[in-house]
Chain A
Amino acid sequence: MSMTNPPSAASGPGSVSARNQTLKRSVQAAFEDPNDRAGNPGYQSKVRVIDKYKVVGFISSGTYGRVYKALGRQGQPGEFAIKKFKPDKEGEQIQYTGISQSAVREMALCSELKHDNVIRLIEIILEDKCIFMVFEYAEHDLLQIIHHHTQQPRHSIPPSTVKSIMFQLLNGCQYLHNNWVLHRDLKPANIMVTSSGQVKIGDLGLARLFQKPLHSLFSGDKVVVTIWYRAPELLLGSRHYTPAIDMWAVGCIFAELLSLRPIFKGEEAKMDKKTVPFQRNQMQKIVDIMGLPNKDRWPYLTSMPEYNNLATLQPPMLHPGHHHHHHSAHSSKSAASTSHLEKWYYSTISAHSSSSSSSSTPSPSSASGNNNLSALGAEGYKLLAGLLEYDPERRTSAAQALQHPFFATGDRVSNNCFEGLKTAYPQRRVSQDDNDIRTSSLPGTKRSGLPDDSVARPVKRVKEG
């Protein structure tokens, strides 16, 4: 073997047997050597994950690998989330196969980024053909928080919490976009919230720089963003997309914080061969609320590759009880493109009022003042409408959204989204089950920390080549 490691000052990697004795058959086993390294002087990490961190449980898994909760062994304060990238297997033997481009991107970007509203990377350890990315731990995420509010009795998220979450989320987005980073996979499950109510944008596995790329962004990854949060320009096949795609997703998240369910809950058409199908069902869900896009609302609409498919969509269905006012046949075309978002907004913020049930439930509720979503008022609608603008060029940017009157009206926006809440949200479920870890060699098993209905959520994304 030619590659030998420089003299290691930090740790003695020789004490393999001693180390193994301290291990129980537990989640810790996931961090064990996959093979005997004796007699192989190849690459060795100077730092060993298990020397530095004590794994206390398993959090979740995905296509990339698994996430564990850990504590520092060397006096590092706080808790950690360790993301372990799954190594490829050839037969039984784990082989070096080259690190995936998305892992390389995530490693490089996370090493550069530093902001209160972006999840903080502590370190990366490359050991035993595996990559361990150590992050600060966040007790909650938006998916979990939303789910908590759907539990009987269903009760809406307090308006002050919604406002704080949105402000912090936008703040993180602004930072990413100022640094030419597109996240490309914003959704509730990827927005972390710490126990002190700080919002942290997580999972930069799909993120990338968009400043003067060598190739169009489209050519790298054909499909980005989980379907329910995918912007209309992506659904219509746009090749050159911008930070506006993240802002659409932020709009969808805002709507979901209000209604506790995805606003555009479409079904994904599967990729056949290598062609990307038109996502008719998803686009229809958007049209149902937003109306059909047209050239007035979106000048470049007709140059979208999938433009012709729009004609196959149904105009928004009118609710049975809803009379189509005095418009007659001559305005049917404009009626088809009329947005019903305002109606959606006001019926949502009045329907889900939590004030009636807050006294009887042990759920988080505002200590003072108005706990009714209608407190978000007309400015809430305007912000939502700006984020869900069809035309990506007119869509509200993160910087514009932060200046929006929505945040200036009413109470001061707190940087702790739990401020004023009497009770805490349940903690992230962490599994310490032996069985769980032994069967864990199967990748992509369902998220353990999450409730049942979340399993039905669409899977992340198509891996790039």
Chain B
Amino acid sequence: MAANYWESTQRRFWQFSKEELANMRERLEDSEQSLVSMFPLPERRHLSIYFNQQINRLGKRLGIRQQALATAQIYVKRFYSKVEIRRTNPYLVITTALYLACKMEECPQHIRLIVTEGRALWPELLALDVSRLGECEFFLISEMNSQLIIHQPYRTLTSLQQDFYLTPDEINLATSVINDHYMTDLPLLYPPHIIALTAILLALVLRPNPVPGSSSGPTANNMAAATAALAQAQARTGGNGQTTPGASEKDKQQEARVSKVHRFANFLAESNVDIEGMVDCTQELISFYECHEQYNDKMTREQINRFVKARGLDKP
């Protein structure tokens, strides 16, 4: 169903367990052993960071909305769960994914415009023309089995922001956590509402600190607070009665924040939300922000460009 996540193709065909995902990727690499050993690549999340940056660069030139950028990122993720990266020109795949995502998100871009901008961005790496982009579109749609409707966490965030009295700062922070999760495997592992709830939780506990953005990760303390809130919610579902409020804060603002976290934890306890999933999402995000510190843009770019050049994937 188009509007019902539970019956959507996203849930039925594009939500995997970690093990399934690992197996799929292993099979892909096995099928291309010589390529894989000849062209080592950085870890997957670093590739995702790089792809994300490229999509954003292209999107910025064309004034494309975040929702379409996010859909394009999912398309890239789905595609590379079925096709070995080294067999493709990632710049072509990125451009095509964005072109297709814009059509699906009802903000279409003319194909010639996308081609022009793609060429201008990566002149050395992509001999792009309309027919190449069109061909790659067939490839992309075919690998995704024409399952192109994506359920995003943004919608859950929007619909819940009033229930939890989220401030604009908190909404922004939750939004940026959602933006960041596209650089992890989470979109292929968890339903969008679990992602959104995790993002809200992190926004609530991270609030006084600077935005994690994509560079400065949240502190271990804050993450501990998030995990504690989840543990509390988990305990409540187990039937334990009243919970004692957290450490007493003098600051009024701080108190309000704590009560917000409590309200949220109570909501989680009372609804049938997959809290374990949220714990895992939180940990994946912590781990992602740590991994982000190790990201080396130059090295990532060079490793990608090496196989693109060496295999002649940049040629028409």
| A contacts, CB < 8 Å to B | 2-7, 42-43, 45-46, 95-99, 101, 104-105, 107-114, 124, 126, 129, 178-181, 208-209, 211-215, 220
Contact = CB atoms under 8 A, between A and B. Distances in A.
A43 B106 contact: no
Nearest to B148: A108
A49 to B, nearest CB: 13
A42 B87 CA distance: 12
Contacts, number: 125
A111 B314 contact: no
B212 to A, nearest CB: 26
Contacts of A208: 106
5 contacts: A3-B139, A109-B2, A126-B141, A214-B67, A220-B106
B149 interface: yes
Contacts of B133: 96, 98
Contacts of B149: 108-109, 111-112, 209
B147 A3 contact: no
Q: Which one of A7, A111, A113 has the greatest number of beta carbons of chain B within 10 Å?
A: A111
A181 B2 contact: yes
A213 B3 CA distance: 13
Interface string B185-207: 00000000000000000000000
A96 B131 CA distance: 5
Contact of A209 (B3, B89, B315): B3
Nearest to B136: A3
Q: Which one of A2, A4, A108 has the greatest number of beta carbons of chain B within 10 Å?
A: A2
Given A101-B103, A214-B67, A214-B105, A209 B2 contact: yes
B54 interface: no
B155 interface: yes
A43 B142 contact: yes
B146 A96 contact: no
Interface in B242-258: none
B312 interface: yes
A354 B138 CA distance: 52
A107 B139 contact: no
Contact of B137 (A99, A105, A124, A181): A99
A42 B316 CA distance: 11
Going nearest first, the 9 A-B pairs with the smallest beta carbon separation are A96-B134, A98-B111, A108-B148, A2-B313, A180-B3, A96-B131, A179-B3, A112-B2, A107-B146
Contact of A43 (B87, B138, B313): B138
A96 B82 contact: no
Contacts of A98: 99, 111, 130, 133-134, 137
Contacts of B146: 107-108, 110-111, 124
Contact of A178 (B3, B67, B99): B3
Interface in B1-53: 1-4, 7-9, 31
B135 A104 contact: no
B145 A111 contact: yes
A2 B3 contact: no
Given A2-B312, A98-B99, A112 B1 contact: yes
B88 A3 contact: yes
A99 B133 CA distance: 10
B34 to A, nearest CB: 14
Contacts of B92: 2-3
A176 B155 CA distance: 20
Contact of A2 (B9, B107, B315): B315
Contacts of B65: 214
A96 B100 CA distance: 14
A208 B147 CA distance: 15
B104 interface: yes
A116 to B, nearest CB: 14
Contact of B89 (A2, A42, A180, A181): A2
Contact of A107 (B8, B82, B135, B141): B141
A113 to B, nearest CB: 7
Contacts of B106: 208-209, 213-215, 220
Contacts of A124: 141, 145-146
A366 B277 CA distance: 58
Given A96-B134, A114-B7, 17 more contacts: A2-B88, A3-B92, A5-B139, A6-B87, A43-B135, A96-B130, A96-B137, A98-B137, A99-B137, A99-B141, A105-B103, A109-B2, A109-B149, A114-B1, A124-B141, A124-B146, A214-B67
Interface string B283-307: 0000000000000000000000000
A3 B90 CA distance: 10
A104 B142 CA distance: 12
Interface in B42-90: 65, 67-68, 82-84, 87-89
Contacts of B123: none
Contacts of A46: 142
Contact of B136 (A43, A112, A214): A43
Q: Which one of B104, B106, B133, B313 has the greatest number of beta carbons of chain A within 10 Å?
A: B106
B213 interface: no
Contacts of A214: 65, 67-68, 105-107
Given A109-B2, A178-B3, A95 B83 contact: no
B136 to A, nearest CB: 6
Nearest to A128: B138
B148 A96 contact: no
Nearest to B83: A6
A54 to B, nearest CB: 22
A104 B75 CA distance: 14
Given A43-B142, A97-B111, A179-B1, A111 B9 contact: yes
Contacts of B88: 2-3
B208 interface: no
Nearest to B84: A6
A42 B141 contact: no
A98 to B, nearest CB: 4
A45 B142 contact: yes
Contacts of A212: 155
Contacts of A114: 1, 7
B11 to A, nearest CB: 11
Q: Which one of A43, A95, A110, A215 has the greatest number of beta carbons of chain B within 10 Å?
A: A43
B314 A2 contact: yes
Q: Which one of B67, B83, B99, B137 has the greatest number of beta carbons of chain A within 10 Å?
A: B137
